[in-house]
């Protein structure tokens, strides 16, 4: 997993809130337990709250509504249509899967093509750099720099929702002279 960027200041605000809560908890501990536990309690409490928020709390629907970072965890299926300029071949609707593992601060995108007859054969790409451009809850763009089979590429995917179903659609290009269009739907 890699750290991903977002174009909002929400993470700074959340970290500040977690720090304030940690200091409050440590003051309570100092009052009711011992005056010598304040520093260790504040740091320990902050670490625990940060871990808890990063792994679990940010995914709760009301919190997602407040922070604006979408939960795109899950398995996605769809197709790639691409043009290979070296081989001068266009391949339409190759089946692919995308597995996304996400926390509040880290993400992993693994795209797999298992078609042995495609120009590249079976491939698996891994995210190296990911950023989310969040305009509002209806305009979210995910930009990804990925690597596969000793090559690299870039993609730009738009997240959309239709009737409670999530879609990722967009384009990509790689340094092995391929460009294409990706069309994915979340299945779980």
DSSP state of 175: T
Closest CA to 95 of 74, 73, 125, 122: 122
**Interstrand relation of 165-174 and 151-162 (parallel, antiparallel or unpaired):** antiparallel
Tens digit of each residue's pLDDT (9 = 90 or more) over 15-53: 999 999 998 988 888 787 776 666 677 888 999 999 999
Tens digit of each residue's pLDDT (9 = 90 or more) over 151-168: 999 999 999 999 989 999
What is the model's pTM? 0.91
The residue extents of the domains of the chain are 7-67, 74-186
Q: pLDDT tier at 149 (50, 70, 90 boundaries)?
A: confident
Tens digit of each residue's pLDDT (9 = 90 or more) over 51-72: 999 999 999 999 998 999 999 9
Closest CA to 137 of 186, 68, 185: 68
Phi, psi dihedrals of residue 115, rounded to the nearest 5°: -75, 110
Q: Which pLDDT value is given to residue 121?
A: 84
**Interstrand relation of 2-6 and 74-84 (parallel, antiparallel or unpaired):** unpaired
Domain at 74-186: CATH code: 2.40.128
DSSP-derived 3-state class of residue 150 = coil
Closest CA to 95 of 112, 78, 120: 78
Return the number of other C-beta atoms located less than 10 Å from residue 15's C-beta: 14
Mean of the per-residue pLDDT values of the chain = 93
* Mean pLDDT to the nearest integer, 87-92: 93
């Amino acid at each position: 997993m890699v750290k991903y960027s977002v174009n909002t200041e929400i993470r700074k605000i959340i970290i500040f809130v977690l720090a304030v809560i940690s200091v409050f908890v440590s003051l309570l501990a100092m009052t009711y337990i011992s005056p010598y536990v304040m520093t260790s309690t504040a740091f320990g409490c902050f670490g625990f709250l940060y871990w808890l928020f990063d792994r679990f709390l940010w995914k709760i629907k009301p919190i997602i509504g407040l922070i604006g970072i979408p939960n795109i965890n899950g398995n996605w299926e769809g197709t790639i249509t691409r043009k290979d300029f070296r081989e001068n071949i266009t391949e339409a609707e190759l089946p692919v899967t995308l597995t996304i593992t996400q926390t509040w601060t880290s993400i992993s995108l693994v795209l797999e093509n298992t078609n042995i007859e495609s120009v590249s054969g079976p491939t698996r790409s891994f995210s190296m750099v990911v950023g989310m451009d969040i305009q509002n809850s209806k305009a979210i763009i995910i930009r990804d720099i990925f690597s596969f089979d000793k090559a690299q590429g870039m993609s730009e995917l738009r997240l959309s929702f239709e009737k409670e179903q999530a879609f990722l659609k967009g384009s990509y290009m790689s340094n092995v002279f391929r460009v294409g269009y990706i069309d994915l739907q979340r299945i779980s």
